[in-house]
């Protein structure tokens, strides 16, 4: 399993101070991209991705979720998410949109980084067959895209992840052993 750390940046309150939600604006944003995965054996697959961002999460809301996770783990995070308005959605190929529950936007030297989290998996990639049965605990998904002022960029998609707290740090373990790259990210 590949371990990812972007959620550390997402949920660690001290790192959330640089949010720039004004870029999303009142009407939201929609990005398109191409998801590409290549296995160690050389097989590859691509699919279109649509990322809709209706709102970035205010600092106080993100802090509340981070505190819930730190004090009670995934169960407390899920409880804290009840009643939280979705922040947008992620659609892989012709699949159904998966509602995003957390969207954090931060300024970077290239533009801005959007970290988008859903409290459900988009796809259990790497289980060998489409519509693979979920593995216990891999029930979130994470998208990271970095875009410039024009909305162009790249990123990654972790379609099924487990979120844990280890040694005081948030760790995201990916169900898939291959990294899903998001290329040709473009604002519509």
The predicted pLDDT at position 125 comes to 72
Query: Which residues are registered as beta bridge partners of 140?
Result: 161
Delimit the domains of the chain by residue range. Answer: 3-187
The predicted pLDDT at position 10 comes to 46
- In the numeric block, the tokens 């998801």 are attached to 35
pTM listed for this prediction: 0.82
Please give the helix or strand (H or E) that residue 53 lies within, else none: strand 44-53
Closest to 108 measured CA to CA, from 7, 9, 186: 9
Beta strand 44-53 pairing with 140-147? unpaired
Residues of the chain with pLDDT under 70: 1-23, 25-27, 126-134, 167-170
Query: Which residues are registered as beta bridge partners of 127?
Result: none
The predicted pLDDT at position 39 comes to 74
- Between CA 56 and CA 123 the distance in angstroms is 24
Q: What are the angstrom distances between the C-alpha of 106 and each of 5, 6, 23, 71, 162?
A: 16, 12, 10, 25, 23
């Amino acid at each position: 399993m590949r371990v990812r750390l972007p959620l550390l940046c997402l949920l660690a309150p001290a790192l959330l101070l640089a949010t720039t939600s004004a870029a999303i604006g009142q009407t939201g944003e929609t990005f398109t991209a191409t998801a590409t995965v290549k296995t160690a054996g050389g097989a590859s697959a691509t699919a279109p991705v649509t990322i809709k961002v209706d709102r970035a999460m205010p600092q106080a809301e993100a802090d509340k979720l981070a505190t819930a996770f730190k004090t009670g783990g995934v169960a407390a995070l899920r409880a804290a998410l009840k009643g939280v308005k979705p922040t947008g959605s992620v659609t892989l190929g012709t699949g159904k949109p998966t509602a995003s529950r957390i969207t954090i936007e931060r300024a970077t030297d290239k533009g801005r980084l959007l970290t988008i989290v859903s409290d459900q998996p988009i796809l259990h990639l790497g289980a060998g067959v489409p519509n693979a049965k979920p593995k216990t605990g891999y029930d979130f998904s994470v998208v990271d895209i970095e875009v410039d002022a024009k909305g162009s960029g790249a990123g990654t998609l972790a379609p099924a992840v487990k979120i844990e707290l280890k040694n005081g740090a948030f760790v995201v373990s990916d169900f898939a052993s291959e990294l899903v790259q998001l290329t040709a990210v473009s604002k519509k």
